[in-house]
Structure 1
Amino acid sequence: MSAAFALMICGTAYPADLTGAGSSFAAPLYRAWADSIHHQTGLSLTYQSLGSGQGQKRVMARSVDFGASDLPLPGRVLDAAGLYQFPTAIGAIVVVINVPGIPANQMKLDGPTLAALFDGRITTWADPRLRALNPGLRLPDLDVLPIHREEASGTSHVFADYLHSVAPDWKTGMWGDGAEAQGNDGVAASVRQSIGGIGFVEYAFARRDRLNTVKLKNRAGQFVAPGTDAFASAALSADWPHADHYAVNLLNAPAPQAWPIMSATFALVPLHPANKAAASATKVFFRYGLKQGDDIARDLDYVPLPAPVKDRVLSGWP
Structure 2
Amino acid sequence: MKNTWITVLAAAGTLGAAGAEQTLNGAGASFPAPVYQNWTYTYSQSTPSVRVNYQSIGSGAGVNQIKARTVDFAGTDDPLTLEEQQKAGLLQFPMLTGGVVVIVNLPGVRNAQLKLNREVLADIFLGKITRWDDPKLKAVNPSLTLPGMRITVVRRADASGTSFIFTNYLSKISKEWTEKVGAGSAVKWPVGIGGQKNPGVCNNVARIRGSIGYTEYTYAVEANLSMAVLENRAGKFVEPSVKTFSASAVNADWKNAPGFYMVLTDQPGDESWPITGVTYILIRKDCPKNVKDAMRKYFEWCFTTGSTAAMKLNYVPIPGNVIELIRKEVLK
Q: TM-score range by the shorter chain?
A: over 0.9
Task: Give 3-state SS (helix, strand or coil) of 2:294's partner.
Answer: helix
Q: Distance in 2 between matches of 1:44 and 1:209?
A: 29
TM-superposed CA distance for 1:315, in Å, is: 2.5
Distance 1:5 1:39, change over 3 A: closer
Number of the residue aligned with 1:252: 266
Q: Are 1:28 and 2:34 matched, yes or no?
A: yes
1:295 is aligned to 308
**Do the aligned partners of 2:255 and 2:325 also contact (CA within 8 Å) in 1?**
no
Question: Which amino acid counterpart does residue 284 of structure 1 have in structure 2?
Answer: K
- Give the Cα–Cα distance (whole angstroms) in 1 for the partners of residues 254 and 124 of structure 2: 33
- Separation in 2 of the partners of 1:26 and 1:128? 37
Question: Is residue 76–residue 281 contact of structure 2 (8 Å, CA) maintained in 1?
Answer: yes
Residues 118, 174 of structure 1: 8 Å contact kept: no
Could you say which residue in structure 2 is the equivalent of 1:216? 230
Deviations 1:173-218 (A, max 9, x none): 3532300011011111111111111110000101111110010000
Matched, 1:233 2:281: no
Q: 1 CA distance for matches of 2:89 and 2:262?
A: 21
Q: 1:164 aligns with which of 165, 171, 189?
A: 171
Cα distance in 1 for residues equivalent to 2:241 and 2:190 = 29
User: Structure 1 277/218 Cα, relative in aligned 2: closer, same or farther at 3 Å?
Assistant: same
Kept in 2, the 8 Å contact 1:237–1:250? The answer is no
For 1:120, the equivalent position in structure 2 comes to: 127
RMSD: 1.5
State the SS of the aligned residue for 1:311: helix
Residue identity (%)? 37
Query: How far did 1:26 drift?
Result: 1.4
User: In the superposition, relative to structure 1, how do residues 307 and 154 fare at CA in structure 2: closer, same or farther (>3 Å)?
Assistant: same
Name the aligned partner's letter for residue 279 of structure 1.
K
Counterpart of 1:272?
A: 286
Partners of 1:40 and 1:188 in 2: CA distance: 33
| Other structure's SS at 1:169 match | helix
- Listed as ranges, the gaps of 5+ residues in structure 1 are 8-13
* Separation in structure 2 between the aligned mates of residue 142 and residue 26 of structure 1, nearest angstrom: 33
In structure 2, list runs of 5 or more residues that go unmatched: 1-15
Question: Could you tell me which of 91, 94, 101 is aligned with 1:84?
Answer: 91
1:176 is matched with which residue? 190
Alignment deviations for residues 262-290 of structure 1 (CA, whole Å, 9 cap, x no partner): 111000001111x4323322222111101
- Residue of 272, 292, 307 corresponding to 2:320: 307
Displacement of 1:157 in angstroms is 1.0
After TM superposition, which residue ranges in structure 1, 4 or more long, deviate above 4 angstroms? 3-7
Query: 1:143 deviation in Å?
Result: 0.9
Question: Structure 1's 87 and 6: CA in aligned 2 closer, same or farther, altered over 3 A?
Answer: farther
